[in-house]
């Protein structure tokens, strides 16, 4: 463990670290930016240690503590935090996977922050589910041939390995730790996005890539993403990031309300809603001893939490823009960035019930 390592979500070092991330955040609006410096700082601060246990050189934070950490990080810099979730998804799947080679060769450097890995799994979960498999796998002896593409891979241009999902002809699926330097792997330049372009999220193509079985993390099995291997896609962490972004916007409105009494009531209402969702999230994470409080509405499950967190992020960021007035509409103001970033939650690992709920809210059909 590093000397100046963040050891809990209440550690004052985390607050100072987040202040540094917030200071660097505007730099990620530049064309072609990548949060390399931010990820380096994460390694120095021991952030990567939160997500794996001591056998792998980590601290093994509880799910509730990880969520607290994510909320603070997302309020400081959503782009860096999103990239971190993808890196962590790869790291935890390697740690829990069937490949001793991947664990022994990759995990220590990932925990220490000396390398970068990411995931290419959206086509197995919420993306491209209405068409034939876009990333196909064939067994060739003990090894596999990968052919096709993964549409949404974060930071692939900077990754040494990608935890990649593929589907066999019999519909079984595999997860592999794909070395990006294998022959046939192609990573086109990532497209510019409405928000979070610095995450460098885009496609990865495989042209008959031969990968040895020693890199196999899971499978072949039906629905490999339901095997409980590492972090879950679209889980509570996604809501934590939305709540974190909302928190940054709400704090801005609260500061503006010090000089403008017309903002006091909206700021208080938004802050109370955020507190409610925070408590609901920790309850769903299994944290005991949460404060007992009667809320006007309850949060039944993760999907409802995600829908409401999406809504709060959208409304809070727009409230910040309204409070900033014309200045918020000038490029470079954080309120404009928050508004664009909030839109991301409508497309990132967004399950159909969540999207339907948000659409009904937009159409005025919500209960």
Beta bridge partners of 204: 150
Give me the pLDDT at residue 126, please.
Answer: 61
- Which residue do the tokens 């992020």 mark? 313
Please choose, from the candidates 70, 92, 72, 78, the residue with its C-alpha nearest in 3D space to the C-alpha of residue 35.
78
Residue 214 CB neighbours (<10 A): 14
Please choose, from the candidates 298, 335, 302, the residue with its C-alpha nearest in 3D space to the C-alpha of residue 316.
335
Give, in order, the Cα–Cα distances in Å from 201 to each of 33, 122, 152, 159.
Answer: 12, 12, 6, 12
* Structure tokens belonging to residue 100: 């001793």
Element (H, E) at 187: none
Domains of the chain (ranges; CATH) run: 12-116 (1.10.540.10), 118-226 (2.40.110.10), 236-362 (1.20.140.10)
Give me the pLDDT at residue 263, please.
Answer: 96
Regions in the chain scoring below 50 on pLDDT: 1-2, 233, 294-296
Give me the pLDDT at residue 229, please.
Answer: 61
φ and ψ at residue 194, rounded to 5 degrees? -60, -40
Q: Are 57 and 18 in contact (CB under 8 A)?
A: no
CA triple 304-71-336, angle to 5 deg: 90
Give me the pLDDT at residue 294, please.
Answer: 43
The answer to whether the bond into 220 is cis (omega within 30° of 0) is yes
pLDDT one-digit tens code per residue, 233-288: 458 999 999 999 999 999 999 999 999 999 999 999 999 999 999 999 999 998 86
φ and ψ at residue 203, rounded to 5 degrees? -80, 155
- Strand ranges (E), 15-142: 117-120, 135-140
What is the distance of C-alpha 264 from the center of its chain? Answer: 32
């Amino acid at each position: 463990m590093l000397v100046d390592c963040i050891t809990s979500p209440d550690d004052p070092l985390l607050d100072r670290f987040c202040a540094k991330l917030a200071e660097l955040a505007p730099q990620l609006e530049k064309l072609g930016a990548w949060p390399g410096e931010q990820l380096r700082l994460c390694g120095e601060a021991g952030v990567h240690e939160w997500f794996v246990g001591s056998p792998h050189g980590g601290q093994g934070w509880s799910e509730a503590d990880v969520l607290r950490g994510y909320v603070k990080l997302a309020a400081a810099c959503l782009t860096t935090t999103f990239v971190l979730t993808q890196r962590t998804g790869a790291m935890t799947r390697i740690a829990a996977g069937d490949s001793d080679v991947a664990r022994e060769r990759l995990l220590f450097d990932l925990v220490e922050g000396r390398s970068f890995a990411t995931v290419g799994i959206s086509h197995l979960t919420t993306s491209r589910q209405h068409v034939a498999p876009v990333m196909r796998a064939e067994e060739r002896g003990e090894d596999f041939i990968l052919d096709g593409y993964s549409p949404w891979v974060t930071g692939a241009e900077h990754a040494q390995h990608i935890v990649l999902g593929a589907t066999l002809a019999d519909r079984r699926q595999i997860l592999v730790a794909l070395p990006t330097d294998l022959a046939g792997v192609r990573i086109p330049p990532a497209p510019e996005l409405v928000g979070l372009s610095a995450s460098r999220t885009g496609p990865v193509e495989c042209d008959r890539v031969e990968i040895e079985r020693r890199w196999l993390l899971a499978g072949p099995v039906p629905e490999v993403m339901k095997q409980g291997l590492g972090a879950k896609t679209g889980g509570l962490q996604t809501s934590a990031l939305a709540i974190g972004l909302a928190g940054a916007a709400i704090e801005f409105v609260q500061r503006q309300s010090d000089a403008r009494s017309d903002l006091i009531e909206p700021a208080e209402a938004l802050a109370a809603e955020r507190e409610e969702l925070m408590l609901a999230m920790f309850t769903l994470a299994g944290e005991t001893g949460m404060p007992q409080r009667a809320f006007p509405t309850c949060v039944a499950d993760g999907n409802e939490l995600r829908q409401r967190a999406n809504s709060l992020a959208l409304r809070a960021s727009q409230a910040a823009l309204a409070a900033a007035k014309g200045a918020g509409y000038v490029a470079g103001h954080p309120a404009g960035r928050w508004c664009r970033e909030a839109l991301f939650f409508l497309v990132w690992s967004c399950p159909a019930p969540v999207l339907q709920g948000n659409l009904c809210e937009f159409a005025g059909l919500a209960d």
